[in-house]
Amino acid sequence: MTEEIIIAGFGGQGVLSMGKILAYSGVMQNQEVTWMPSYGPEMRGGTANVTVIVSDERISSPIVHQYDTAIILNQQSMDKFEKTVKTGGILLFDPNGITHPPKRTDIKIFAIDGVEEATRMGNPKTFNMIVLGAYLKIKPVVKTENVEKGLRKSLPERHHKLIPMNIDAIKLGMEKVKEFSL
Amino acid sequence: MAAIEIKDIIKKENLVYGKTKILTDNIMHYCPGCSHGVIHKIVAEVIEELGIQEKTIGVSPVGCSVLAYNYLDIDWQQAAHGRAPALATATKRLLPDHYVFTYQGDGDLASIGTAEILHACNRGENITVIFVNNAIYGMTGGQMAPTTLMGMATATSPYGREAALHGYPLKITELIAQLPGVAYVTRQSVQTPAAVRKAKKAIKKGFENQDKKIGTSFIEIVSTCSSGWKLSPVDSNRWMEEHMFKFYPLGDLKDSERNSEEEYKKYIE
Amino acid sequence: MGELKLMKGNEAIAEAAMRCGCDGYFGYPITPQSEIMETLMLAKPWETTGMVVLQAESEVASINMLYGGASCGKKVMTSSSSPGISLMLEGISYLAGAELPCLIVNVVRGGPGLGTIQPSQADYFQTTKGGGHGDYQVIALAPASVQEMNDFVGLGFDLAFKYRIPSLILTDGVIGQMMEKVIVAESKPRWTDAEIKKISGTWATTGKTKDRERHVITSLNLESEKQEIHNHHLQAKYREIEVNEVRFEEFQTKDAEYLYVAYGSSARICQKSVQLARAKGIKVGLLRPITVWPYPTVRLSELANQVKGMLAVEMSAGQMVYDVRLAANGKIPVSHFGRYGGVIPSPDEVLVAMEKFIKEGK
Ligand SMILES: Cc1ncc(C[n+]2csc(CCOP(=O)(O)OP(=O)(O)O)c2C)c(N)n1
Ligand code: SF4
Ligand SMILES: [Mg+2]
């Protein structure tokens, strides 16, 4: 199994940390991972994206231009990455702020109202975990228990009290994700 | 009563404020609240008011203001990190009837470029230096600058600046003021309309001094970097007033009596 | 076995420095490698191992701090990115002339000039063909994974001290910014004074004692004959390194009819292109130089008897390709494919370039 994912949105949406948690979870179940961020001043208020690869084998290129899954969280990223999903691949997006929804018919498209659900949960910071949950429902690349282990390993001790809330957010995302039709 | 439409209001006779033509229409890349934008604007206004657009050459640094050439509609040279005063030296000497200024951050001017600025000022180059001191490396992501205050946390002084580890904040402006080649040294800020007016006056004087050929004019602007400081723009201004002004007090440090090239020559002798 | 961690390449360099008994790090912030100093400042190794960490006022100062520290027989290092390394070249030439061991990390970005902060491999000439003035070489290691970023810190120091030569890790923004799994080594203590005496006691400036002559670290020779003799000595050392220290990795070369030659992040991209090519039935392999100086010339010239052509893939306008051509020595066609100025090629793009090369034979 090799899963090549791009996560793209605004800086500040937790794009990079979502990717990091996914990568950590892969490590927790003994898989190979790479996490390659966009970097530099273009991230100042602009777009941020990260390529995460999770695989059972040694990973060759950490840079790919075609993805099994694209998780898209703003319109600029939709414009840039909708076309990069492999045929038969998956596109997951949050309709909030999307003015031109995806149109491709050769891929599977899912939507998650992450912003709305996070606001409803009373904690906008859980947004990226809700989206991660939605993704893991569609593609259970890593087990939820390994996400929890990953969080435990990657977060400093003083933040461990936040882990249950993050796990709840993941479960909520799993519940709320739905197939998107044009 | 007929409804008033916007187009009825936008008329020449109603104009109370207009953007100087020296500023281009490019959208600035600076973070919200960043001092660079305001400083660009007043430099541009000074150039317009003095009518010297065609005779002004700016030298931009490496730092967040590296792209200053996108915002002021004048000729520019973009220097290597810290070397702007060297470029300005040659430019002014080769084009003595032009107005030449450098625009530099604290890392650029007071760290990697210390040698260049000290020697340009010591030679009394007839240039204007705009020194934007935000006590941090904005562009590279908030590392410690030579002007970072004691105790201030940055990416490379995460536990706060400590003298034993990082040395003391450098009052480069005070050092520069000691040099005989320097005519005018002042420290200003731009966080309130009143401060902006004062800073603009200082910059104007700095440019006018080039006519008099009396040596270097050095204008420090104590500034904020909300991204580097990890504070909101409003809190940044407050923090600057509370902490920066204490260590970097505003006002003139030097305003030479000399008023003409002859007096300067006499003074040197 | 050491501990398993998930780290950025830049962080791995810092972590490895602290664990391998490094005595001092001196640097100046520049993207895309500032995390190295930031990680060190956060970890405060001066409180644990006693390692000194200092933000210098410029790269010129950093490299001369290395000259001072290395003169004392200490394990000292710096890191920077292309424009900063250019500033260091004078100092590197002095270090090479005075035969001082040290470690320099270059996380290359796109040039020339201020260029871009995105990844590039356009500092190959600067690294392998001298860079600064005079006839000199530095040992240059090119990691292709975060694990190698970690491993090459210790290896770089070992080689530097074995030959009294500066070692350089030649990497880029891809490997520096990427996170991968790393097994970090057990921590080694810094050398004691007695150990330094044993290793560098014949030359280091540790204070003249009664039992020895004074030690002077210099690269100056007023007499040209003496300077020529010194150059003979340096050249003999370089020849020895060329024999002993060449490192490379091969990937599916056994039955290969065509060969990619690529180092660092380009090699990772090519590895995927090899898989894509093989899936299409094209017999392509990859040779990855791990040391770009000394260069795997001998192995490449052997492979030139086996394959029908070699394609050098670099994120530059074509620099390493000259070394591939020298190795192939006209036996087979050698060509170059590169994206540059901060653009990273995709594995598919690299495969298309290979297919074109096979078809056109150039
Ligand atoms: C030789 C060299 N070293 C380092 C850098 C990286 N660099 C770019 S801007 C900068 C510091 C900028 O700080 P400052 O001058 O204070 O300007 P600010 O961004 O705060 O306005 C550094 C270190 C570089 N471009 N060139
Ligand atoms: S990082 Fe700081 S100096 Fe740079 S644009 Fe933002 S606020 Fe201004
Ligand atoms: Mg600054």
Q: Is the peptide bond before B146 cis (omega within 30 degrees of 0)?
A: no
Distant-in-sequence, close-in-space partners of C162: CB < 8 Å, separation ≥ 6: none
For chain A, percent of residues with pLDDT exceeding 70: 96
**Residue B214, amino acid:** I
At residue A106's C-alpha, the angle toward residues A104 and A110, to 5°, is: 65
CA distance C71 to chain A (A): 36
Whether residue B166 is predicted with pLDDT greater than 90 in this model: the reply is yes
Please name the residue of chain A whose CA is at the shortest distance from the CA of residue C109: A40
The range of the structural domain enclosing residue C281 comes to 249-360
In sequence order, what are the beta bridge partners of C334?
Answer: C310
Fill in the DSSP letter of residue C342: S
Q: Report the domain count for chain B.
A: 1
Spatial distance between the Cα atoms of C173 and C119, rounded to a whole number of angstroms: 4
Nearest of C153, C105, C176, C147 to residue C5 by alpha carbon: C147
**Separation CA B219–CA B131 (nearest Å):** 6
| Ligand 1 atom nearest to CA at B139 | 19
Cα separation of A152 and B200, whole Å? 54
Q: At what angle do helices A163-176 and A114-121 cross, to 10 degrees?
A: 130
Chain A contacts of C32, Cβ < 8 Å? 39-40
Residue C212 lies in a domain: no
Ligand 2 centre from B64 Cα, in Å? 6
Q: How far is B95 from chain C (nearest CA, A)?
A: 25
Residue B7 lies in a domain: no
Cβ-defined contact of B139 to A41 (cutoff 8 Å): yes
Task: Give chain B's mean pLDDT.
Answer: 95
- Which residues 10-69 in chain B show a CB within 8 A of chain A? 29, 31
* pLDDT of the residue at A43: 43
Q: Is residue C158 situated within a structural domain?
A: yes
The DSSP H or E segment spanning A32 is strand A32-37
- Could you read off the pLDDT of A47-69 as tens digits, one per residue? 799 999 999 999 999 999 999 99
In the predicted model, is pLDDT for residue B56 greater than 70?
Answer: yes
Residue-wise pLDDT for A4-28, tens only, equals 999 999 878 899 999 999 999 999 9
How is A110-178 classified by DSSP, letter by letter? EE--HHHHHHHHT-GGGHHHHHHHHHHHH--SS-HHHHHHHHHHHS-GGGGGGHHHHHHHHHHHHHH-E
Q: Is residue C121 part of a domain?
A: yes
* Model pLDDT for residues C26-57, shown as the tens digit of each residue: 999 999 999 999 999 999 999 999 999 999 99
pLDDT the model gives residue C105? 98
Q: Is B6 within a domain?
A: no
Tell me, letter by letter, the H, E, C secondary structure of B235-259.
Answer: HHHHHHHHHHHHHCCCEEEEECCCC
For residues A24 and A35, the answer to whether their CB atoms sit within 8 Å is: no
Pairing of strands B99-105, B56-60: parallel
Please state the length of chain C.
Answer: 362
Residues 282-321 of C with CB under 8 A from A: none
Q: At A47, which helix (H) or strand (E)?
A: strand A47-55
Which pLDDT band holds residue B147 (cuts at 50, 70, 90)?
Answer: very high
Cβ contact C130:C147 at 8 Å: no
Answer with the one of C128, C158, C193 that is the final residue of a domain.
C193
The H or E element that residue C34 is part of is: none
Q: How far is the CA of C239 from the centre of ligand 2 (A)?
A: 50
Strand, helix or coil at B117?
helix
DSSP class of residue B118 equals: H
> How far is A51 from chain B, CA to nearest CA, in Å?
22
- B145 is written with which tokens? 């600058």
Sequence-distant (≥ 6) Cβ neighbours of residue C209 within 8 angstroms = none
C-chain residue closest to B159, CA distance = C42
User: Is pTM beyond 0.90 here?
Assistant: yes
Residue type, position A7, single letter: I
Ligand 1, closest atom to CA B137? 13
In a domain, C154, yes or no: yes
Span A77-132, pLDDT tens digits: 999 999 999 999 999 999 998 999 999 999 999 999 999 999 998 998 899 999 99
Domain with C17 in it: what CATH number? 3.40.50.970
Report residue C84's pLDDT band, with 50, 70 and 90 as the boundaries. Answer: very high
**Residue type for position B176:** I
Ligand 2 nearest-atom number relative to CA B134: 3
Confidence of residue C1 (pLDDT cuts 50, 70, 90): low
Q: Give the range of the structural domain holding residue B133, as residue numbers without chain letter.
A: 29-268
User: pLDDT over 70 for what percent of chain C?
Assistant: 100
- The residue whose CB lies within 8 Å of the most ligand 2 atoms, and thus the one to mutate among B28, B31, B224, is B31
Give residue-wise pLDDT tens across range B120-137: 999 999 999 999 999 999
- Asked whether the bond before C32 is cis by omega within 30 degrees of 0, the reply is yes
CATH code (residue B148): 3.40.50.970
Give the up-direction half-sphere exposure of residue B191: CA atoms within 13 A in the CB hemisphere.
20
CB contact under 8 A, B31 and A41: no
Torsion angles phi and psi, residue B44, rounded to 5: -60, -45
Cα gap A88→B155, rounded to integer Å? 44
Residues from chain C contacting residue A23 (CB–CB below 8 Å): 6, 179
Measured between beta carbons, which residues in chain B are less than 8 angstroms from residue C31?
A: 140-141
The Å distance, Cα B62 to ligand 1 centre, comes to 5
Domain identity same for C189 and C254:
no
- C165 and C272: one domain? no
Q: Quick check: is B179 in a domain?
A: yes
Looking at chain A, the number of H-run helices and the number of E-run strands are 6, 7
> Could you tell me if residue C312 is inside a domain?
yes
Classify residue C200: in a domain, yes or no: no
**Number of Cα atoms under 13 Å in the Cβ half of residue A43:** 20
Smallest Cβ–Cβ distance between C38 and the set B62, B156, B166 belongs to: B156
3-state SS class at C80: strand
Q: Are strands A2-10 and C291-293 parallel, antiparallel or unpaired?
A: unpaired
Which A-chain residues 149-168 have CB contacts (< 8 A) with chain C? 154
| pLDDT confidence tier of residue B148, bands split at 50, 70 and 90 | very high
The pLDDT of residue B261 is: 82
Give me ligand 3 centre to Cα B138, in Å. Answer: 5
- For residue A42, the model assigns a pLDDT of 47
Contact B38, B190 (CB under 8 A): yes
In this structure, the residues whose C-beta lies within 6 A of any atom of ligand 1 are B 62-65, 81, 105-108, 132, 134, 136-140, 145, 225; C 28-30, 59, 83-84, 87, 114
Q: What is the CA radius of gyration of chain C?
A: 21
pLDDT at residue B2, rounded to an integer = 66
Q: Which residues line ligand 2 (CB under 6 A)?
A: B 30-31, 34, 36, 64, 134, 138-139, 225-228
The angle at the Cα of B156, spanning B151 to B161, to the nearest 5 degrees, equals 15
pLDDT of B163 > 80? The answer is yes
CATH among 3.40.920.10, 2.60.40.10, 3.40.228.10, 2.60.40.1930 for A2-179: 3.40.920.10
Two tokens at C345? 């090629």
Residue C184 is assigned to a structural domain of this protein: yes
User: Is residue B266 scored above 90 in pLDDT?
Assistant: no
Residues facing C43 on adjacent strands? none
In the 8-state DSSP scheme, what is residue A14?
A: S
B18-35 mean pLDDT: 93
Distance to chain C for B219, nearest Cα, Å: 22
* A-chain residue closest to B63, CA distance: A41
C-alpha span between A143 and C247 (Å, rounded):
40
The pLDDT-based confidence of A44 (bands split at 50, 70, 90) is low
Token duo for residue C1: 């076995």
CA distances (Å), origin C10, targets C35, C107, C173: 6, 9, 9
Report the distance separating Cα A14 and Cα A151, nearest Å. 14
Residue A86: its chain C contacts at CB < 8 A? none
**CA angle centred on B132, ends B131 and B133, rounded to 5°:** 105
Whether cis (ω within 30° of 0) applies to the bond prior to C101 is: no
Q: Is the dihedral of CA A135, A140, A144, A147 positive or negative?
A: negative
Question: How does DSSP assign B181-243, residue by residue?
Answer: TEEEEEEEE-SSHHHHHHHHHHHHHHHHHHHHT-SEEEEEEE---HHHHTS-HHHHHHHIIII
Question: Considering every ligand atom, which ligand is closest to the CA of B133?
Answer: 3
Query: Å from C276 to nearest chain B CA?
Result: 38
Q: Assess if residue B115 is contained within a domain.
A: yes
Question: Which residue's C-alpha comes closest to atom 9 of ligand 1?
Answer: B63
Specify whether C173 is located in the same domain as C273: no
Give the residue-averaged pLDDT of B13-34: 92
Q: Which residue's structure tokens are 């006519």?
A: B211
Q: Which of C248, C295, C286, C241 is nearest to C268 (CA)?
A: C286
Q: Whose CA is nearest to atom 5 of ligand 2?
A: B30
Per-residue model confidence (pLDDT) at position A41: 58
- Using a CB-CB cut-off of 8 Å, the residues of chain C touching B78 are 114
Radius of gyration of chain B (CA): 19
Percent of chain C at pLDDT exceeding 90: 98
Query: Measuring CA to CA, how many Å separate C186 from each of A51, B129, C43, C160?
Result: 31, 52, 16, 21
The predicted-structure confidence for B248-262, as pLDDT tens digits, reads as follows 999 999 998 787 888
* Number of structural domains chain C divides into: 2
Contact A23, A35 (CB under 8 A): yes
Residue ranges per structural domain of chain A: 2-179
Tens of pLDDT along C87-106? 999 999 999 999 999 999 99
Q: How many CB atoms lie within 10 A of CB C183?
A: 12
User: In one letter, which amino acid is C297?
Assistant: T
Distance from the Cα of residue C218 to its chain's centroid? 25
The backbone torsions φ and ψ at residue B103, rounded to the nearest 5 degrees and listed phi first, read -130, 110
Strand partners for B75: B57
Domain boundary among C145, C162, C193: C193
Whether residues B156 and C30 touch (CB distance < 8 A) is answered with no
Cross-sheet strand order for the sheet of B216-222: B75-78, B56-60, B99-105, B128-133, B216-222, B182-189, B251-255
Considering only A32-46, B173-187, C245-259, which range has the smallest mean pLDDT? A32-46
